[in-house]
Amino acid sequence: MCGIVGLIQTNKPVDEHHVLLMRDSLTHRGPDSSGLYMDASRHAALAHRRLSIIDLSDFAAQPMTNEDRTLWIVYNGEVYNFPSLRNELERAGHRFQSNSDTEVILHAYEEWGTQCLQRLNGMFAFAIYDSRNQILFIGRDRLGIKPLYYHFKTGVFAFASELKALLIHPEIPADIDETAVYDYLTYHYIPAPKSVYKHIYKLPPASYLIFQQNKVRVESYWDLTYQPRMISSVDALQEVYRHVQNSVRGHLLSDVLPGVFLSGGIDSSAVSFFASQFQAAIDSFCADFDQKEKSEAIYAQTVADHLKTRHHTLLLTKNMFNRQLYEQYITLFDEPFADASGIPLFLVSQYARGHVKMALSGDGGDEVFAGYGKTYEKWFRTANRNSFQDLIGRAIFPLTQSLSSSLRGQPWLQYVCGDLFYRTSYIFGSTTGPRKHILLGSALKGFQKEYDDLWFFRQHWHSDMEPLHRILYLDMKTNLPDRMLVKADRSTMAASLELRVPLLDHNLVQAIFHLPPNIIYPEGRQKFLLRETLKNHLPESILKRPKKGFSIPLNEWMQNNSGEIERLFAGSVGVEMGWFNPAIRDINAFSHKHRLMGHSLWAMIVLENFFQKTYSGQHRASD
C-alpha cells in the first residue's frame, strides 16, 4: 500500500522540487521508503511513497521499470492473483527481478496492454508511463477501493492518491466547484468524477485513463452485470462459502503478519473465521466504548475466544472525542466529507499499527449481502406501495407548493409525494432541493432550479432490474465507493495501515449479484447467505444478533460544545462568500427553526471548517 504521484508538463520541464513536495505530502501512506523517476527530457515524472507489504527488498522499490527501461510504474494497492499471473507471463517469455505484484502488473501491460485490467484481481490504482511513445496509462480497481485524483489543463497533467498532493503544485488552481458543494449538501460526500475543486477530478471505479498528445481519454472496463440464474439454496450456500474462503485466502498473501478488525458483527466475524483457517493465532482488534449501552466488546471477545485469536481491545472514552480529534478527522479527506463514523476506525487503526502493518476487515458485507436491514425494509415497503398510495401522494404534492420553504423542505413530505426513484434517494439519505434552499446563500441559488440534484443516483438507477438488485447496484455504485471506501482508506492510511476488504472481491460480488432475490434476501432476512454459510462455524449468539453500528457521541459532543459551534458560524466564511444563508450566523436559532440537527448539522460544520481552512485567507486578503 502506497502513495503515488505523477506529473507530465508538455509546455516546460518538470520542477523536481514540486514533485518531491507532492510525493512527501503522502508520507503517511508510505513511510518505509520513497522513489522518483524523471524521463530524459524532464517533462515527465513519477514519484512513490512505499509501505512495504509484499517483497520487502529493494528489488520491489518504485518507481519500477522493465528490462529495456521504456516502461515505468507507480502503484498503490495489492493484486491477489499475481502468483498465477506471473506463472502465465513467465511461460510467455517474461523474466522477473523481484517477487512483487508491482512487476507483474508491469509485465501484464507489456503482454496485454489495457486489457491487463481484466486479469487483475485486487484493489489498486496504478500509473504506467511509456517513455518511448509518451503515453501515460492509469487504472483503478473495479469497486473503487483505492483512490486516484487527477488534474488536466493544456500543458499540465498530474495525478495523485490524495487531493492534498495535487494542491501543492503552483499551476493547479484551487477554485471551488459550486456544483460540487451543492452535491455535497445532497449526498454528504462529493460524488465521482467531481472533487470540490473545479479542475481536479476523481477517476471513477472500474475505469482507466490514457494521456497522450495532450489529450485525456477515460474508459470503463467493467460493470456489475445483472443475470439472475436458477440455483438451489444449498448450491448457493456452497458457492458463497467457496468464494469467501478463496477471497480471504488470497487477501492473506503478504510478507508481513496480518491482523483482522473484529467488531463481533457478522461481516468481521466471517472474515476472522476464514482468516483463522489459514493463519494461526492471528491478531484481532476491536474498538470499545466506555458507555455500557454502546459497548459491543463482549461480542468481539466471544468470536475471538471461539477462533483463538490474539485479541486486542482499544477503549474509547468520551473525553477522547474532542474538537481536536474531530478537526483532525475532517482534514483527512481534503474536501468536505460528512461521515463521522470512521473516527473509531481511525483510532483503532492507530492502535493496531503498533502491532501489524496490514489488517483485513468486513467492509462491504452490507452492500454485497443486503445487510442494511432497516434501510432495505423501508425501501421494500415503498417499492411495493400500491397505486392508491401513489395517487394520494400525487394529489398532495401541488398543495405542498403553498407551504413555507421550511415546511416544504421537510424530507418526510418529499418522501410521501415523490415517485419510487425519489423515495429511494430519500432513503439513501439525500437532502431535498427545498431543504438545501434553506441553507444556501445567493452564490449557490442561481442554478438551483435547473440543476438535477440526483444526477449521481439517476446515473446508476436501473428500472429494468429486480427491485433488490436495483438497490444493491445503486448502493455499490454510489454509497460504497464514494463514502464507505473513502472513509476506510483515509482512516487507515492516516495511520500507515493497509486495509484489505475480502468481501469486495469482484468475483464474489458478481457471483452474489447473479443469484435470484429469494436466495439473497428471503422474506427480508438480511445477510441470509452469510449467516447460513457460517451457522456451523460461529457461535449462535453472533449469528443471531441484530446489526448494530458503532455509535460515536457526535450529538453529545455538539451539544456540549455549542459555544464553539456558535463562534464557528458567527464568523462564517461561507456566509461572507455567499455560500450560506446569512441567518446561519446565529446557528442555535437557525438550527431550532429549521430542525437542523444530527448529521445535517455536522455536515454544515464540516463545510464551514473547510471554507475557513482553504478559503478565508484568500477572501479576506482581497477585502
- Helix (H) / strand (E) containing 597: none
User: Exposure string (b/e) for 416-452, b if CB count within 10 Å is 16 or more?
Assistant: bbbebebbbbbbbbbbbbbbbbbbbbeebeeeeeebe
* Cα 584 from Cα 599, distance rounded (Å): 16
Name residue 360's beta-bridge partners. 260, 500
| Cα four-point dihedral sign 36, 37, 42, 45 | negative
d(CA 354, CA 315): 15
Give the residues across from 72 on adjacent strands.
65, 129
CA–CA distance, 125 with 112 (Å, rounded to integer): 18
The alpha carbon of 523 is separated from its chain's Cα centroid by a whole number of angstroms, namely: 30
What H or E segment, with its residue span, contains residue 231?
none
CB atoms within 10 A of CB 245: 16
Closest of 432, 431, 437, 444 to residue 579, by C-alpha:
444
| Residues 352 and 345 sit within 8 Å (Cβ to Cβ) | no
* Residue 523: Cβ within 10 Å count: 6
Please list the residues that pair with 261 across neighbouring strands: 285
Nearest CA-CA partner of 334 in 147, 513, 206: 147
**What would you report as the CA-atom Rg of the chain, rounded to the nearest whole angstrom?**
25
The x, y and z cell numbers of residue 353, run together, are 499499527
Give how far Cα 165 sits from Cα of 3, 114, 199, 218, Å: 10, 26, 14, 21
Given 2, 116, 286, 417, which residue is catalytic?
2
Measured CA to CA, the distance from residue 544 to residue 565 in angstroms comes to: 41
Report the C-alpha gap between 501 and 489 in whole angstroms. Answer: 11
Sheet holding 33-38, edge to edge: 33-38, 44-50, 2-9, 156-160, 149-153, 200-202
Question: Does residue 2 have an active-site annotation?
Answer: yes
How far apart CA 424 and CA 413 sit, in angstroms, is 14
Question: Residue 285: phi, psi to the nearest 5?
Answer: -135, 140
Q: Which three cell numbers stand for residue 174?
A: 484551487
Does residue 63 have a cis peptide bond before it, meaning omega lies within 30 degrees of 0? yes
Residue 595 Cα distances to 282, 394, 403, 607, angstroms: 47, 26, 16, 18
Q: What angle do CA 141, 146, 150 make, to 5 degrees?
A: 95
Residues 6+ apart with CB under 8 A from 427: 375, 378, 379, 382, 415
Could you give the C-alpha distances from 233 to 239, 371, 508, in angstroms and in order?
Answer: 10, 18, 16
| Sequence-distant (≥ 6) Cβ neighbours of residue 42 within 8 angstroms | 13, 14, 16
Question: Which residues are marked as active site?
Answer: 2
